Amino acid sequence: MADMETAKKFFDKCDADGSGKIRKCEVYNVLKQFKSHDEAIQFMAEVFKFDKDADGEISWEEFKTAIQHSG
Ligand SMILES: [Ca+2]
Ligand SMILES: [Ca+2]
């Protein structure tokens, strides 16, 4: 998921309520379609390290930072 276009598609898919931010449960609902439970939890742990404003949700800006750091 290194390229931004793919990342944005994933982000929009996760953002089920269109709030512009993704919550853990939104991310999990998408991840569980193609990842195991353990993989999904691990992925979310990585992404949510980048919740810089600590509101419990990942904005697109925060998600981009997470993607850039994960390579
Ligand atoms: Ca949302
Ligand atoms: Ca946040």
Give me the CATH topology for the region 4-70.
Recoverin; domain 1 (1.10.238)
Is the pLDDT reported for residue 1 higher than 70?
no
Of 71 and 45, the one with more pLDDT? 45
Mean pLDDT of the chain: 95
Mean pLDDT of 20-39: 98
Spell out the domain ranges in the chain: 4-70
C-alpha 55 to ligand 1 mean position (Å): 12
Short-list 7, 8, 42, 6, CA closest to 24: 42
The sign of the CA dihedral 41, 25, 54, 7 is positive
Mean pLDDT of 39-65: 97
In Å, how far are 22, 45 from 10, measured between CA atoms? 10, 17
C-alpha 37 to ligand 2 mean position (Å): 23
Provide the whole-model pTM. 0.90
C-alpha 61 to ligand 2 mean position (Å): 9
C-alpha 26 to ligand 2 mean position (Å): 14
Short-list 22, 31, 16, CA closest to 64: 22
Q: 49: pLDDT confidence band, cut at 50, 70 and 90?
A: very high
